[in-house]
Amino acid sequence: MNFLKDFTMEDTFFGKREELLSSTILPYQEAAIKDQIPGAAKSHAAANFEAAARFQKTGRKTEEFYGEVFQDSDVAKWLEAAAYSLLKTPDAELKQRALELIHTIGEAQYPDGYLDTFFTLKYPERKFTNFQDAHELYCAGHMMEAAVAWHECLENDELMQIMLRNADCLYEHFIVRKNPGYSGHPEIELALLRMYKATGEEKCLQLAEHFLNARGQDPMYFLKESKARDWQLGNTSFNTDPYYAQNYAPVRKQRKAVGHAVRAVYLYAGMAAYAKLAGGTVFSDDAKPAGGTGLSDDAKPAGGTGLSYDAKPAGGTGLLSDGKAGDAEMAEACRALYESITTKQMYVTGGIGSTYIGEAFTTDYNLPNDTVYSETCASVGLIFFARRMLDLEPLGEYADTMERALYNCVLGGMQLDGQRFFYVNPLEVDPAVSGVIPTHRHVLPKRPKWFGCACCPPNVARLLGSLAEYAWGRTKDTIYVNLYLAGRLELPDLGVRILADTGGYPYGGDLFYRIIPERPGKCFTFAIRVPAWSRNTRVTCDGKNVEIKDGFAYIKGPFMEETKVTVILDMEPHKVYANPSAAADNGKVAIQRGPLIYCAEQADQEADLFSIRAEEDGGIHVLPFDEKTLGGIVPLELDARAEGEFDGLYSFKKPEERKCRLRLIPYYAWGNRETGRMRVWIPE
Amino acid sequence: MNFLKDFTMEDTFFGKREELLSSTILPYQEAAIKDQIPGAAKSHAAANFEAAARFQKTGRKTEEFYGEVFQDSDVAKWLEAAAYSLLKTPDAELKQRALELIHTIGEAQYPDGYLDTFFTLKYPERKFTNFQDAHELYCAGHMMEAAVAWHECLENDELMQIMLRNADCLYEHFIVRKNPGYSGHPEIELALLRMYKATGEEKCLQLAEHFLNARGQDPMYFLKESKARDWQLGNTSFNTDPYYAQNYAPVRKQRKAVGHAVRAVYLYAGMAAYAKLAGGTVFSDDAKPAGGTGLSDDAKPAGGTGLSYDAKPAGGTGLLSDGKAGDAEMAEACRALYESITTKQMYVTGGIGSTYIGEAFTTDYNLPNDTVYSETCASVGLIFFARRMLDLEPLGEYADTMERALYNCVLGGMQLDGQRFFYVNPLEVDPAVSGVIPTHRHVLPKRPKWFGCACCPPNVARLLGSLAEYAWGRTKDTIYVNLYLAGRLELPDLGVRILADTGGYPYGGDLFYRIIPERPGKCFTFAIRVPAWSRNTRVTCDGKNVEIKDGFAYIKGPFMEETKVTVILDMEPHKVYANPSAAADNGKVAIQRGPLIYCAEQADQEADLFSIRAEEDGGIHVLPFDEKTLGGIVPLELDARAEGEFDGLYSFKKPEERKCRLRLIPYYAWGNRETGRMRVWIPE
């Protein structure tokens, strides 16, 4: 089964965003990588492949490489997103253009499978000598993910064949010839595992396993690699920092999320996917999956000893307590790393990465709101990681984290019209400071046009295009609702349809699911998430209460007739308090309603935003849904006090205050009006 | 007159610090510059001069230069501080060693007067080609200040002769040969003006005037200078930034304090000193001062049109309203720059410089407490600047600023035992973060040992050694009390003694001054500052109330008999509020009592410091003077609430709170116990 194909979205909130993907985001990004946008930073990403293809044909270099060393990945991410979009919104011309691009990519490949336009055009003799910075394996990984998407969504294997040849080339280099190295920027690990699950090609699994096993065995590996060559790329100081690229220890020994946040969560996602696969004798012949969805794990090899939760032993956690568990160490590392992020290093918006220096994690509870990095890609990667943790262990909190990152940081990364994107997602902005002074130069108060480095926009695009994979989950006998998307899920093998009516979610909290057996139903369990933010949730099945466990409500089949599952979420808004060790939030509150974190923008206030404090015992007022504002929102108002005029820099005189209401909008919608001050954490 | 000589300190608070200068600070710093401290970073500063002297004698280089390009200035600042110390605490052996060093400096000088060991030993052919980074003029300036100190305190002119030869060399290069350039790091401007006032040597005045006039005429000057040479030093990106070194506009047109904070205030101090001198026909023959103190301006040239306040025209500001004022533009720029700092860019501790990137000012109201730079040297320089503004215009607020910077940031820069120093003076510290993560690496939670770059310790030393020059001021007919130091001031030319009994200041606020005429007194006015922080001040003269104007109480002579002036300051502690635009302080209060800003350290709290909030309507409790703690302090306690245990990172549950008292100590005393959290601004 394949949720991308089997689920049809009919969601008021995400439907329009899915529509933006085909109407706006993909065309804009296609024009960008083809240098067709006047005034935008030159990309040359498509042209690099064309030039490399000409070089393969003629042996002559007619054009220089241009762009970042990872420019190829922009093409890959666009192709991946295009596959998702084409599945739902067929467009013969778009498909034709994409296939031409894929064809060019094939022509740009060396006969041995090597593919990377930077090295092909610039320094062929330097290939495979700089895994720290050169992003060869990272670009390959993204192209592999695109190949999986074309394979699964469009049954087109042209790119898959190219990337299987590329995997052969890597297999030859790393496994056969035993050359050292692994990617400074993880990504290929999770991509190879998707390739393996899609095709059953064992070389992909072996390579992924090799990269994971090799990482961090020698924390000084990148430094040695750097000294072994007479050329460098970029900021080589990171070479000496084994935390930056998460190779400070073998991955199974890692417990703290460190370094470049995107690299980290891509690695951890690969680790979690591997831990799930490694549930048993993964190299035995019967372990080859028959092809699958890449993300959902119905393809779990037969005969395994079981990390899947339907197979949970009584009394244990299911994850580590099974003595026969294949790679318990890997699973344990994943859980520790997940906790390191979500219980110590995550912004309330689901953003991660506290500093622009290395775009990195810093230390526990260091969560500055104004100098934050919180890259959109990092939250996309956190969703990848949490989704794979859900596969390992069906705890609702993993889905809560996906939801937090998706509805707040990731959606906030995109302008409402889909035309502009943030890389950095601050929780406090002052246009006099943000984007202006050196320590805040990376924090922009409004979304800019296409960047020279364009990682985030296509990452958002491919996530929006494949939301069904995140919203739904499945083990052998359970269907999971992880995220609440309205629509229709067909499960042909179970002979069942599931209709999801999620009302005005995330603004409304009354969810209605109908399980409709179309032929005598197989026995399976329907599990729907009960989010931790809902303090009082009522789940009923045909009017009867349902047992809730570890963040999911389980309704056991068989379903002989239509069955109604109703989830009434508690949509009371709440003040959120932060741990006192998070010094930046001391004495402040954030406001959350449903999955949405709110923020205050200057545009909505009569007084200076920075002069307004929440009343300690004040209420939060829920205003009616306002369809005309910011694409439709439920605004909130907070009982507050505003200071009067303040004279000078410091004063002994307590500023005069008057009661007021602080108007709040969902964080994802900020920065869509005039530029002004914004903050999530409000002094109380 | 010369306050350094004429004032004898008998102050409980500063007396022990003056004593530390001779007992601890000077010996330690001497050992440091002579590389006699085991385990400390190598300085080589004295050895550089010895090597340069050998080179001048033999023409052979026997030893490499070692250290920062401005290493010579460590020797200069030490020599300056030594002169102040030797005046009060004679020490024949110390003086002998200092004179040997001065002798070596003379031997290291080229016959034409050029002096700089970096260029002498390393790159003689490169001299005078990199004024942006090479600090040649900066080092010369510091050595000139040392020369003035030896001239004025010890009547020893050996160093003065050396530096007058150096001034000749510079005069030849810049004035006679009209070569372009001015110092990337200002300092020589104020130093040359001190030389001029001490010796009357017109070349010094002309050079200072030249450097001030040339600065910023071409904001791209340093970029052009950089392109004209084939070598660079340090971070050349600053070359392209005309704000970094305050050459974005001609100095008289500058209105916003920008760039490297130490450079800025050194420049502004030079500008203010020049504006004062330029009160008239400074180049006329009668303008030569007869020698003076360098800082106090009894040496104002006769016949001027008057920027001195005794000559203030009725109804005007005195500064700019006099049409004949010599350099009103310069004075106006100084005032604007002073206001730019103190009303928009100064920490409540008197610290300046909000970012470590360029050690610089950022933008108005950007005053982060944890990533702050607030270099000790910058506050020393702010005191230099404010002192010279007082000479321009007797407004108490200039003295208030000196006091704020001195009693808080500068004193906090030094360990109580005088053995260790901070460069960076944060207003919030968390040892898990400060000094650890990249954006906070410069913010140390405890004072380190001697640095390789040792600018701050000797800067504090020379300030502590010359406090009398800051505490007292004089115009032709007025004696000013700027800072309250207990002691005895002899004024032989007026035939008067002033005895200052300042009680337990800064902890006590009852000040008693006795004006004792020893022979029929000349007519003069005694003016004593009334600080703005004292909301209710009573000043009486022999029991009668006294008029207060612009921050000074004026008592007019003649004084025919002993006259008692009593100042009763309001020592009530206050909560300080910050302008809402200072986002880092929103919803927070600082606590001030007298001139002292307080802070809270973890060591004094029963609960986690970061979990404690001030009660909005709570009081501040003044505890008895505690002579056993931190060298003797008056602790304060603030009515507060502490949160109970907090589980996890975020919570909807309002943390349980219990009433408590937050214990506060003076900011200057922080970091003298075990390392822990500290903060000045307390959430309320």
Residue pLDDT, tens place only, B314-323: 333 333 334 3
Rounded Cα distance, B197 and B289, in Å: 6
Residues A445, A434: contact at Cβ < 8 Å? yes
Provide, as residue numbers in chain B, all residues whose Cβ is less than 8 Å from the Cβ of A360.
438
Can the peptide bond before residue A38 be classed as cis, meaning omega within 30 degrees of 0? no
Burial of B453 (0-12, 13-18, 19+ CB in 10 A): middle
Kindly report the three-state secondary structure assignment for every residue of B227-239: HCCCCCCCCHHHH
Check pLDDT > 50 for residue A309.
Answer: no
Q: Where are the domains of chain A?
A: 475-568, 575-683
Catalytic residue among A455, A456, A541, A660: A455
A533 touches B at CB < 8 Å: yes
Confidence of residue A155 (pLDDT cuts 50, 70, 90): very high
Check pLDDT > 60 for residue A469.
Answer: yes
Check CB contact under 8 Å for A370 and B643: no
Token output for A344: 């110590």
Provide, as residue numbers in chain A, all residues whose Cβ is less than 8 Å from the Cβ of B611.
580, 586
B533 touches A at CB < 8 Å: yes
Residue A517 Cα to chain centre, angstroms: 33
B587 touches A at CB < 8 Å: yes
Q: How far apart are the first and last CA of chain A?
A: 50
How confident is the model at residue B279, as a pLDDT?
Answer: 72
The C-alpha angle A251, A80, A63, rounded to 5 degrees, equals 95
Q: Which of A340-354, A583-597, B72-86, B288-302 has the weakest average pLDDT?
A: B288-302
**A75-84 mean pLDDT:** 97
Confidence of residue B312 (pLDDT cuts 50, 70, 90): very low
A348 touches B at CB < 8 Å: yes
How confident is the model at residue A61, as a pLDDT?
Answer: 83
Burial of B544 (0-12, 13-18, 19+ CB in 10 A): exposed
| Residue whose C-alpha is closest to residue B402's, from B272, B491, B514 | B272
Question: Residue A278 carries which DSSP code?
Answer: T
For residue B579, give the nearest of A437, A590, A648 by CB distance.
Answer: A648
Would you tell me the crossing angle of helices A188-199 and A261-277 to the nearest 10 degrees? 30
Token output for A173: 């280099």
Q: CA of B574: which chain A residue's CA is closest?
A: A652
Where is mean pLDDT largest: A637-641, B21-25, B37-41, B322-326?
A637-641
Q: CA of B642: which chain A residue's CA is closest?
A: A580
Mean pLDDT for chain B?
A: 90
The CA distance from A360 to the nearest CA of chain B, in Å, is 10
Check pLDDT > 50 for residue B248.
Answer: yes
Q: CA of B369: which chain A residue's CA is closest?
A: A584
Check pLDDT > 70 for residue A293.
Answer: no
Tens of pLDDT, residues B632-659: 999 999 999 999 999 899 999 999 999 9
Check pLDDT > 80 for residue A101.
Answer: yes
Token output for A600: 């205050």
Token output for B444: 């140390």
The CA distance from B126 to the nearest CA of chain A, in Å, is 30
Give the three-class secondary structure for A52.
helix
Give residues 610 to 639 of B whose Cβ lies within 8 Å of A.
Answer: 610-611, 613
Residues A466, A1: contact at Cβ < 8 Å? no
Q: Encode A567-576: b = buried (16+ Cβ within 10 Å), e = exposed.
A: bebebbbbbb
H helix intervals, B453-515: 456-465, 467-471
Check CB contact under 8 Å for B578 and A650: yes
How confident is the model at residue B40, as a pLDDT?
Answer: 78
**B436-442 mean pLDDT:** 91
Token output for B565: 């002036």
Can the peptide bond before residue A595 be classed as cis, meaning omega within 30 degrees of 0? no
Q: What is the CATH number of domain A475-568?
A: 2.60.40
Give the three-class secondary structure for B475.
strand
Q: Tell me how crowded residue B326 is: count the other CB atoms within 10 A of its CB.
A: 22
Confidence of residue A449 (pLDDT cuts 50, 70, 90): confident
Check CB contact under 8 Å for A576 and B650: yes
Q: A–B: how many Cβ contacts below 8 A? A: 161
How confident is the model at residue B621, as a pLDDT?
Answer: 98
Provide, as residue numbers in chain B, all residues whose Cβ is less than 8 Å from the Cβ of A590.
650
Check pLDDT > 50 for residue B304.
Answer: no
What is the four-CA torsion angle of B313, B317, B321, B324, rounded to 10 degrees? Answer: 50
H helix intervals, B171-317: 188-199, 202-214, 221-227, 261-277
Tens of pLDDT, residues A196-228: 999 999 999 999 999 999 999 999 999 999 999
Residues B122, B55: contact at Cβ < 8 Å? no
Looking at per-residue pLDDT, the higher value among B39 and B164 belongs to B164
Tens of pLDDT, residues B411-427: 999 999 998 999 999 99
H helix intervals, A40-71: 45-58
The CA distance from B15 to the nearest CA of chain A, in Å, is 30
Provide, as residue numbers in chain B, all residues whose Cβ is less than 8 Å from the Cβ of A586.
610-611, 613, 683
For residue B577, give the nearest of A578, A654, A683 by CB distance.
Answer: A654
Check CB contact under 8 Å for B648 and A343: yes
Check pLDDT > 60 for residue B538.
Answer: yes
Provide, as residue numbers in chain A, all residues whose Cβ is less than 8 Å from the Cβ of B344.
649
Q: Which of A54-68, A138-152, B293-307 has the weakest average pLDDT?
A: B293-307
The CA distance from A574 to the nearest CA of chain B, in Å, is 6
Rounded Cα distance, A404 and B595, in Å: 48
Give residues 18 to 57 of B whose Cβ lies within 8 Å of A.
Answer: none
**A245-257 mean pLDDT:** 97
**ipTM entry:** 0.91
How confident is the model at residue A448, as a pLDDT?
Answer: 85
Would you tell me the crossing angle of helices A158-170 and A202-214 to the nearest 10 degrees? 50
Mean pLDDT for chain A?
A: 90
Check CB contact under 8 Å for B342 and A574: no
Rounded Cα distance, B327 and B322, in Å: 10
| Residue whose C-alpha is closest to residue B257's, from B383, B386, B346 | B346
Question: Residue A205 carries which DSSP code?
Answer: H
Tens of pLDDT, residues A500-551: 999 899 999 999 999 999 887 678 999 999 999 999 999 999 989 998 999 9
The one-letter code for the residue type at A263 is R
Phi and psi at residue B469, to the nearest 5°: -65, -25
The CA distance from B414 to the nearest CA of chain A, in Å, is 25
Check pLDDT > 80 for residue B451.
Answer: no
The CA distance from A656 to the nearest CA of chain B, in Å, is 11
| % of chain B exceeding 70 in pLDDT | 92
Can the peptide bond before residue A558 be classed as cis, meaning omega within 30 degrees of 0? yes
Check pLDDT > 60 for residue A153.
Answer: yes
Provide, as residue numbers in chain B, all residues whose Cβ is less than 8 Å from the Cβ of A436.
363
The CA distance from B492 to the nearest CA of chain A, in Å, is 42
Question: Residue A353 carries which DSSP code?
Answer: -
Q: CA of A346: which chain B residue's CA is closest?
A: B649
Verify whether residue A359 is a known catalytic residue. yes
Tens of pLDDT, residues B575-599: 999 999 999 999 999 999 999 999 9
Confidence of residue A451 (pLDDT cuts 50, 70, 90): low
Check CB contact under 8 Å for B580 and A643: yes
How confident is the model at residue A518, as a pLDDT?
Answer: 87
**A52-76 mean pLDDT:** 92
A437 touches B at CB < 8 Å: yes
How confident is the model at residue A235, as a pLDDT?
Answer: 67
